[in-house]
Structures are given as C-alpha cells and as structure tokens.
Amino acid sequence: MGKKIMLQGTASNVGKSILTAGLCRVFKQDGYSVAPFKSQNMALNSFITKEGLEMGRAQVFQAEAAGIEPIADMNPILLKPSGNHRCQVIVRGKVREDMSSSDYHTYKPILAKELKDIFKSFSDKYDVVVMEGAGSTAEINLREHDIANMGMAEIADAPVIIVGDIDRGGVFASLAGTMLLLSEEERKRVRGVIINKFRGRKELLGEGIKMLEEIIKVPVLGVIPYSDIKIEDEDSVTTKFKTKMDKNDVHIEIIRTPHMSNFTDFNIFETQEDVSIRYVGYGESLGNPDIVILPGSKSTIDDLKYIRESGLEEQIRELHKKGKLIFGICGGYQMLGRKLKDPYHVEGDIEEFDGIGLLDTITTFEKEKTTTQVNAIISEKLNGYMSNLGGKKVKGYEIHMGITDIGSSVNSLNTITEKLDEQVNYEEGSVNQEGNVVGTYLHGIFDDVDFTRALLNNIREAKGLEKVKSSVASFEEFKQKEYDRLAEVLREHLDIEKIYEIMDEHEK
C-alpha cells in the first residue's frame, strides 16, 4: 500500500489544485510513482480521456505533472451545475443522472462505498497518492455524509494538510477558525498547514506564524509566494493574460457567458507574446478585436439568450461585417448557426430557438452526450483567415449533447481521422465561404502550436504586420517546464522533508 497525503482548504480557490500538482511533480522528480486523486469535483471545465470518459481538468494537469496518463478514476465524481439547484452527476467518467442538491446529499453514502474501492486500487498501484479536497474543509452543515474532505480522508485513512490563502486576507483567522470547527477526530488528522499566495516579506510573518502554531497545535509547513507560473486555473477565468493591447498584438475577445465551460481552451494564447486577451462579461461591450471567441457552454440556449439580451449579438454581427474572425467552440459553435432544436427538452422547455445565423448550420440536442478524443486534419481550400491551413494536424476532445448539420453554403473545418484510438474518416466543424466565421466541437484545437501560430499569422498579415514565430516549440513542452518551475518553488518554500515524515509516520 502506498503513501498518501491530502490537501484541504479553508475555502475554495486557495490554491489546492496547484499545490497538489506541485507535490505530484516533486514526488515524481524524487523517483516515486505518483497519482492525483480528488473524490468529488464541481466544475464546468472537464476533459475526455482516451477511453471516452469525462473528468475534471484539475486532475488532468495534476496527472501531467505526475508524468502519467489522466484517467477518470482520478476524479471519480464530477458535478456539473445545470441551474435551479441541480447538477449533472458524473461517476467514473459517465453520466449517472441529474440530481437536486438534496437528492445528491442523500445519495452520498452509496458513492462513499464506491470511493473506498476506487481509492484502494490507487493506493495499491502507486507509491504516493496526493489527494485534494473540495471547497472548505469546515463546512459543518455538510459534515454528515461528507465524501469530499474529512470524510474522504477517513475513507483513505490519510493525513491532512490545510491550505489558507493570505492574498485574500485573514489567513490566520481562517486557519485557526477552520481548526476550531473541526471535530476532535478530524483535528487529529491535520498534521500541518500551508500559507499560500504570499506577496510580501516573509520575516514580517514570523511572530504571527509562531502565535498561530501555538493556537492550532500543528506546524506551518511553508509560506508559498505568489508566483507567475502558467498552469491551468480550473475554477475561475485566469487574470494572468495580457489585457493591455499593443497595436502590434493580435487582440482576442472572449464572451464570458454565465454558463461558460472549458475556458482552458485558451491557455495556449498565454504562450504567444503577440496576443492580448480580454474576457467580455456582464455589462461590458466588445471593442475592436481581431478575433471574437464564443466558448463552450453548459447551457447553450440560456447563454445565447444572454448574448442576445445584453446586446452582444448585434456587436458580433457588426464585427463580422467588418471582416473580423468569429470563432465558436462547442456551445459557441452551436450558437453561430441558424437554429437550435431541443425536441427532447435536454436544456429546457424551448423546443426551437433562433441562432445568431452566421453559419448555415442547424443543431439538434440529443439525449446522449458525445464524449470522445479525436485527431483531425484541417480541410484544404478554405478561404480568408483559414487559408493556407489545409493539411495541418490538430487534436482535441468533444463534450456535447447536440448534433450539428451543415448546409451547402459552408465548408467543413476538418476531417476526423482517429476517434478513441480507432481509424475513422468523417467531416467536422464549419467555415463560411469568406473564411471569417468558424465553428468546431473540438476543445483543445488551439493547443496545436503549428495550427494556432499559422492562424494568428494570417490575421497579422491581414493587419499589415510581419509574421511571428511561436515562442514555444509545443504547448506540452511549455507545460512541462512550468511544472518543473512549480516544483522548484515548493522545494524552496515548503518543508518537503516534513511532508515525507508525515506520510511515513502515518503508515506506521
């Protein structure tokens, strides 16, 4: 049986996911086989494995840091909010059913039994399992049937480290208050705390750390500085993008809809020095971007209503008339078509809804969700911004409920050549005749640097600018270097030897 350690937090967004990835990388560098594990994750950002199973993105980048292939059991329970206090419950990569919050709470004991077996298989297979909690560990109203934090720590019999975020303020109170609200048995599991996202001089914390340790009776294992490490942020739109536009930049604006999903599709742009990104949210207007992106959506019709009622649809139409590139991914692709049909009431009571109409396509929502990984080749003889891209290889994954039929006035974007490791041959995506409206179901299509850099350079040429080479050879290589940088930060600011000691002592 392998060693295990669990990171829990005083709240959401304290940095548990990044620290989990960092520890995975540290243990990998030290020669151990290591895997991440998060029993329950609530997120709209998800990923499709090679087996066609759905899981949270955080455990994907943690698996990358650990140097292993992501599998759905790293995140056995994925909750995707669907509105009205309901969520889609995905267990071991497959949709089980939609549940209300109260129904899900009463269902947890059944899931707890499954989690015990799943975790045992991980513990038997890997030298170290780095576990991550969800939200706050001190949600005393949810203590009964908890399977995300201390409940999972008990199932796995794992020691716990609690993470607090000093950047939001009140870190000493939040750590001490969290310990106060835990039961005596739960406190026994806590072997230390971490202060995360520190921006100041560490010596100024000295007296506070000493007082905190006297109160909570466990050590502060490290004070982690706020670092500009470019790793996925699963829970919120990243603020690390360059938002100040230079005249020589390719300026991209992304519609931030209420149910936006998989915004990690756009992380690749952070590696390109000539790209500036702006998310356009509620009450804001589009500027004069070179590219407008409509991202994925958990509720396509509701998000299209939002775009229409907020005035953004008309602005998108005006930018299209000016020849700007309009690019839709998944739900955004569906919105760009003429019609959305929902005969089985997958999304609600509306059976037919007008799309934006920039692509000659009609989408019909189906009962079954499409979940697959694919490889594809960009179609030949596309025009406009998509010219000279024919033959380029891309890959991605699909997560959608709809089937989109294309009309005679659009061309397919690509040909799918491989699906879940099997050879296939069918067309996907849509491009208008002018080559300035594009839609695809492929999440991750921009991760291929060759394709993305060529597209950006087509836009640069249209603006009268010189072509630019990519600052990274591949997105995967870039990410691996960032995981190594993260491990360096943890080795410098976290007591890694003490963490090994905690894991060893717990096994005795």
> Within a domain: residue 223?
yes
Average pLDDT, integer, range 98-102: 91
Output the pTM of the full model: 0.92
Residue 389 has pLDDT above 90, yes or no: yes
> Catalytic one among 251, 259, 400, 443?
443
Catalytic annotation present for 24: no
Percent of the chain residues past pLDDT 70, beyond the cut: 97
Rounded to an integer, what distance in angstroms lies between the CA atom of residue 407 and that of residue 338? 10
Q: Do 83 and 206 belong together in one domain?
A: yes
Q: Do 332 and 206 belong together in one domain?
A: no
Q: Do 103 and 152 belong together in one domain?
A: yes
**What are 117-160's pLDDT values in tens digits?**
999 999 999 999 999 999 999 998 888 899 999 999 999 999 99
Q: Do 308 and 214 belong together in one domain?
A: no
pLDDT of residue 82: 78
Which residues form the domain of 379?
250-464
Q: Do 192 and 278 belong together in one domain?
A: no
Number of domains, the chain: 2
Percent of the chain residues past pLDDT 90, beyond the cut: 86
Residue 367, judged by CB atoms within 10 A of its CB (0-12, 13-18, 19+), counts as exposed
Q: Do 209 and 315 belong together in one domain?
A: no
Find how far residue 209's CA is from the centre of its chain. 33
* DSSP 8-class letter at 366: E
255, two tokens: 């519609």
> Within a domain: residue 287?
yes
Q: Do 225 and 374 belong together in one domain?
A: no
Q: Do 177 and 263 belong together in one domain?
A: no
pLDDT of residue 506: 87
Q: Do 355 and 494 belong together in one domain?
A: no
Residue 491, judged by CB atoms within 10 A of its CB (0-12, 13-18, 19+), counts as middle
Catalytic annotation present for 87: no
Beta strands in 229-360 (DSSP E): 250-255, 260-261, 275-280, 291-294, 296-297, 325-329, 339-341, 352-354
> Within a domain: residue 241?
no
> Within a domain: residue 473?
no
pLDDT of residue 93: 96
Q: Do 435 and 377 belong together in one domain?
A: yes
396, two tokens: 């991605």
> Catalytic one among 330, 345, 493, 506?
330
> Within a domain: residue 240?
no
Average pLDDT, integer, range 332-348: 96
Rounded to an integer, what distance in angstroms lies between the CA atom of residue 407 and that of residue 430? 9
> Within a domain: residue 239?
no
Q: Specify which residues 494 forms β-bridges with.
A: 222
> Within a domain: residue 199?
yes
> Within a domain: residue 103?
yes
24, two tokens: 């995975």
pLDDT of residue 243: 55
Question: What is the domain-level CATH number for residue 378?
Answer: 3.40.50.880
Q: Do 343 and 276 belong together in one domain?
A: yes
Q: Do 271 and 342 belong together in one domain?
A: yes
Mean pLDDT of the chain: 94
Question: What is the domain-level CATH number for residue 213?
Answer: 3.40.50.300
